Chains A and B, each alone.
Chain A
Amino acid sequence: MAKRAILGLVTLCLVVTAAFASFYVVPMERTMGPIQRIFYFHAASAWAGMTAFFICFFGNLLYVWRREQKWDSLGVSAVEVGLAFTTIVLITGPIWAHPVWGIWWTWDWRLTSTFVMWLLYISYLLLRTLIEEPDRRALLSALFGIFAFLDVPLVYFSIRWWRTQHPQPVIMGGPGSGLEPTMRKVFFFSVLAMHGLMVLLLSERYRLEKLRGEVDDLRREAEA
């Protein structure tokens, strides 16, 4: 309980500081103006979401290899958390795009691959609701999760491999790209804050899955 409270408090401090810094510390971007401040929330959420999907991939691989329930629990927990972050990306992106591009959405590589990633992980959760038998559900969803993860590197590299409406990378984007030093520091701080939030939500979701396992065990005992 104390560990959870500390994690929650640390995450709250990080998130509040990141939001404050993105409004009051970061200098105004010359061409976009104040709307650019959405970037610190949008891009940091995208990074945290992709990390959650990577954790899911890791859990899925370990489930296929070891067939231990805990890896299935980690996989499904990470998918729900990753979906929450990706939903934020898909909401904040168009809100930023409308005043900057004059359109809410376009089917370019980055936007489309992100939307497909979101749909794939929604399908992962739907698939789990269709299979009753726990071991079969865990195995099939792990295999589907491994397949769904193929889209994650595509999302990351889409703005590096193809010309897109979405802005080109400003972090690790090669020569000529980059952020002003204060913007860069605040961006990485926002990434840290969102990862703190991701870990907090993942640990809460994982606890829920352990409780579900306990309910299943008790039901089996009651039926025996």
Chain B
Amino acid sequence: MKNFDSIFAAYLLGWAVFFGFYLSLGKRTSSLRADIEQLKNSLNRGK
């Protein structure tokens, strides 16, 4: 296929952006969940 490398690069890089964004969302979500757990524990200890 003519220009196969360009088509492949466009789709690969495009999907890499989506996956990167999705992974960053997952990472940030788990970090916030850990913070919530930690804060709830420290609040319970303080009561």
Contacts and interface: CB of A to CB of B under 8 A. Distances in A.
Nearest to A32: B3
For chain B, what secondary structure do more than half of its interface residues adopt (helix, strand, loop), or is it mixed?
A: helix
Interface in A173-214: 197, 201, 204-205, 207-208, 211-212, 214
B7 A208 contact: no
For chain A, what secondary structure do more than half of its interface residues adopt (helix, strand, loop), or is it mixed?
A: helix
7 contacts: A35-B2, A38-B11, A92-B10, A201-B22, A208-B28, A222-B42, A222-B46
Given A38-B10, A42-B10, A99-B6, A214 B36 contact: yes
Interface of A: 19, 33-35, 37-38, 41-42, 45, 80-81, 84, 87-88, 91-92, 95-96, 98-99, 197, 201, 204-205, 207-208, 211-212, 214-215, 218-219, 221-222
A19 B22 CA distance: 19
Contacts of A19: 11
B28 A95 contact: no
Given A88-B13, A214-B32, 9 more contacts: A33-B2, A34-B7, A35-B7, A81-B21, A84-B18, A88-B18, A91-B13, A201-B18, A201-B25
